[in-house]
Amino acid sequence: MVEAEGRTFSFEGVDSIAPDVLETFEYEYPGREIVIDIETDEFTAVCPFSGLPDFGTLRVRYTPDRRIIELKSFKYYLVSFRNVGIYQEHAVNRLLEDLAACCQPRWMEVVLDYRLRGGIHTVVRTEMGQRPTEVSTG
């Protein structure tokens, strides 16, 4: 296995991610299709290779069925990633799994746009469900 050269920092495991803090409330217009678009530039986790922090912009778009994610609980959930060692490609999938389990949307997309690291810009995207026709992939 390849190991990072030089100093590495300790971090927590994925068991520290706290999906149990997520809360929802009822969507009172289940027959009306809407797209909820949530974005924050405060997402952070830790590279499990080096222990260095990864920072990025997180965008979650979804079409609710019957439940909507409560935003304060969403923020608490995101903070639980702060000291967790997780690869970028795994983080986007974990976010999708936890958020979709929480609110059971008709469609959801999660995009993590990480800040430059070593001159490399990474954007990781995943989705589930049927994308509404008026929603672009951008």
- Is 102 marked active-site? no
- Indicate if the pLDDT at residue 2 is higher than 60: no
- The pLDDT score that the predictor gives to residue 49 is 87
As a whole number, the mean pLDDT across the chain is 93
**Does residue 46 contact residue 39 with C-beta atoms inside 8 Å?**
no
- Indicate if the pLDDT at residue 12 is higher than 80: yes
Q: How far is Cα 79 from Cα 70, in angstroms, rounded to an integer?
A: 15
**Does residue 84 contact residue 78 with C-beta atoms inside 8 Å?**
no
Q: Which CATH class is domain 23-129?
A: alpha beta
Q: Where are the domains of the chain?
A: 23-129
User: What percentage of the chain has pLDDT greater than the value 70?
Assistant: 92
**Does residue 92 contact residue 58 with C-beta atoms inside 8 Å?**
no
User: What percentage of the chain has pLDDT greater than the value 90?
Assistant: 79
Rg of the chain taking only CA atoms, in angstroms: 16
Length of the chain: 138
Q: How far is Cα 22 from Cα 59, in angstroms, rounded to an integer?
A: 17
Average pLDDT over residues 56-63: 98
pTM metric for this prediction = 0.91
Average pLDDT over residues 8-36: 94
Q: How far is Cα 130 from Cα 94, in angstroms, rounded to an integer?
A: 19
Question: Of 15, 20, 37, 54, which residue is the catalytic one?
Answer: 54
User: Which of the four pLDDT bands, split at 50, 70 and 90, describes residue 54?
Assistant: very high
- Indicate if the pLDDT at residue 138 is higher than 80: no
- Is 20 marked active-site? no
Question: Of 37, 47, 98, 103, which residue is the catalytic one?
Answer: 47
Q: What angle do CA 68, 58, 127 make, to 5 degrees?
A: 65
Average pLDDT over residues 35-43: 98
